[in-house]
Amino acid sequence: MGATLALSQRGVGRTGPNPPVGCVIVRDGRVIGRGWTQPGGRPHAEAMALAQADQDARGATAYVTLEPCAHDSSRGPACAASLITAGIARVVVAAGDPDTRTNGKGLAKLAAAGISLVTGVRCPEAEAIMAGFFSRQRRRRPHITLKLAVSLDGSVAMTSGESKWITGDRARAHAHLERARADMILVGRGTLDADSPRLDVRLEGLEDRAPIIAVMSSTPAPDGLRHLRDLQALAAVTDADTVLAEGGAALASSLVAADLVDRLLLYRAPILVGGRPALAAIGLANLADAHGRWAPAAVIALGTDRLETYHRIR
Amino acid sequence: MGATLALSQRGVGRTGPNPPVGCVIVRDGRVIGRGWTQPGGRPHAEAMALAQADQDARGATAYVTLEPCAHDSSRGPACAASLITAGIARVVVAAGDPDTRTNGKGLAKLAAAGISLVTGVRCPEAEAIMAGFFSRQRRRRPHITLKLAVSLDGSVAMTSGESKWITGDRARAHAHLERARADMILVGRGTLDADSPRLDVRLEGLEDRAPIIAVMSSTPAPDGLRHLRDLQALAAVTDADTVLAEGGAALASSLVAADLVDRLLLYRAPILVGGRPALAAIGLANLADAHGRWAPAAVIALGTDRLETYHRIR
């Protein structure tokens, strides 16, 4: 399943409206098929892996990061049916599919066909990779990541507004990778006007990853940018399951105040600035209420900077 | 030398005006004497270790974290002479003594007596443990540590001023340990008046560690507190080699702006606050000038909080 989860990440940011799924087919200890959801959402991971395995799939085990879909679509047959037809003997699943068209039905079809099932294997990791899809299905809104590039004292810029650069090359390259993995990049109007950021993906080989670029503003957005009037408009976005909010402090604070941030990416440089803080008021009633909301995930070194990731836990 | 360095730490914060030195005497692979500078600075580490080793010191090796002193004092004989008299055959030294009364003379005396010498062993660690002494000798000012307890976004309090608590029990207990290791605790007038902090050491067994408590203020200090009018007064402090600056933001910013901070202790809680920033303006000309000043040392977990230590590198 570890290899299957890794494979599934190839599709992150490119598979909308479908989730980025991975599938590995193993027979007699050998991998005979590998698939991941292709750009635009089709073919599904199972279809790609089954095509590679071809006749050898008979009697094999399929590892898949999401419950195989149960519903036929104009864009292709249901994966549960394809696995049955191919003669797969055993299916190992990470996460159940919350989509009501499949939810449990995919597994039921496989079981009815006599296929041996193991479910829930490394489910939290699978759900994290497909966070946008799960957010959409369960909460009817995109999964929102807030990115902050800060000094040790929490400044995102000097008081003059100078913000180039707090973090170094490697941290900024990593932030571009995060852009490539997002369906939509969101900035506040102030940041757009003050910094005119180029919100593209500047990583060799990934230049074609072009997330939707949105600006939150009470006034119309410049040509080519999606306009979101307010936070409610964000919840109403239907063509992006993952949003990367890049600043500035007003946008960041409003997202935190509205409890809309699911993941926090903190790029930290070992410098002191004494400048503009990362967040303005977030409507906190008292300090006790600030605790118990964020769990740390991995910390990675990016040159002399560090990236800390936090996940919402309540 | 590792054991000797560890031993030397027992004296940190209690040995003024002398540095906290450690000494271990080894003969035939067995430790026969262990000493560390006693409260008030005497006996010296070597005297304590030699007393334990007694007659067995003849032909033994002495590990010592600082060059043995060469000058007799009304408070006791010079350690170089004592080591020679005891018949020590070999001395391993971490750091040279910058005090002009000893600087090189201690080693020269040992060498002249036919004692075998090894110097510079784990010198940076020894100098870090005796940082206050080295600062006093080399720069004629105390070694200054700035402690900040911050949220992920760099807030030290809510905008209301509420600051209890950003960090948890374990982080606060660690901060008390840092107090015990300091000669002087320094706060700004605003923090003193607003928070009336109890600046004592509240750790079982360490309650008697009572650093000097100083307040930086343009107006006279309350009874029982040392009064420092400004940063120049700090440089003129002569009875404290290590200072722990505890806040608030005005004091912290003025210390950083004057480039007086040698070590930064950053207690970080995994919370977002959007409140008062840790630092106000620090007189930075541009962001480039902020870089390359701080090197990270150990990161330790204190419950859900983390303590990051940074050392000045320029």
pLDDT of residue B221: 86
Are A278 and B153 in contact (CB < 8 Å)? yes
pTM (2 d.p.): 0.89
**Which residues of chain B neighbour A280 with C-beta distances below 8 Å?**
274
Residue B188, SS3?
Answer: strand
Could you say which DSSP state residue A69 is in?
Answer: P
A61 bridge partner residues: A26, A90
Rounded to whole angstroms, the Cα distance separating B204 from B217 reads 32
B279 touches chain A (CB under 8 A): yes
Q: What is the pLDDT of residues B136-154, one digit of tens each?
A: 999 999 999 999 999 999 9
Q: What is the pLDDT of residues B301-310, one digit of tens each?
A: 999 999 999 9
pLDDT of residue A288: 96
Q: What is the pLDDT of residues A251-268, one digit of tens each?
A: 999 999 999 999 999 999
Give the catalytic positions of A in this structure.
Answer: 46
Name the closest residue on chain B to residue A159, using Cα atoms: B281
B275 touches chain A (CB under 8 A): yes
Global ipTM: 0.89
Q: Output the CA angle A208-A213-A218, nearest 5 degrees.
A: 170
Between β-strands A143-151 and A242-247, what pairing exists: parallel, antiparallel or unpaired? parallel
pLDDT of residue A74: 80
Q: How large is the average pLDDT for residues A52-74?
A: 94
Contacts of A81 (CB under 8 A, 6+ apart): A72, A109
| DSSP characters over B108-159 | HHHHHTT-EEE--TTHHHHHHHTHHHHHHHHHSS-EEEEEEEEETT-EEE-T
pLDDT of residue A61: 98
Q: Give the 3-state secondary structure of A216-255.
A: ECCCCCCCCCEEECCHHHHHCCCCCCEEEEEECHHHHHHH
Calculate Rg over the CA atoms of chain A.
Answer: 21
pLDDT along chain B (314 residues), means of 10: 97 90 97 96 95 97 97 85 97 95 94 97 96 93 96 96 94 94 92 77 76 91 90 89 92 96 98 97 95 94 97 92
Q: How large is the average pLDDT for residues A277-293?
A: 95
Name the closest residue on chain B to residue A278, using Cα atoms: B153
pLDDT of residue A235: 82
Rounded to whole angstroms, the Cα distance separating B109 from B152 reads 54
Task: Indicate the residue type of B74.
Answer: S
Q: What is the pLDDT of residues B150-198, one digit of tens each?
A: 999 999 999 999 999 999 999 999 999 999 999 999 999 888 887 777 7
Name the closest residue on chain A to residue B163, using Cα atoms: A287
Could you say which DSSP state residue B55 is in?
Answer: G
> Exposure of B232 by Cβ count < 10 A (0-12 exposed, 13-18 middle, 19+ buried)?
exposed
B164 touches chain A (CB under 8 A): yes
> Exposure of A175 by Cβ count < 10 A (0-12 exposed, 13-18 middle, 19+ buried)?
buried
Choose, out of A152, A286, A299, the residue to mutate when testing the contact with B (most B CBs < 10 Å): A152
In the structure encoding, which two tokens stand for residue B303, read together?
Answer: 């419950």
Chain A nearest CA to B84, separation (Å) = 47
| DSSP characters over B91-118 | EEEEE---STTTTTHHHHHHHHTT-EEE
In the structure encoding, which two tokens stand for residue B205, read together?
Answer: 């067994």
Q: How large is the average pLDDT for residues A114-131?
A: 96
pLDDT of residue A204: 79
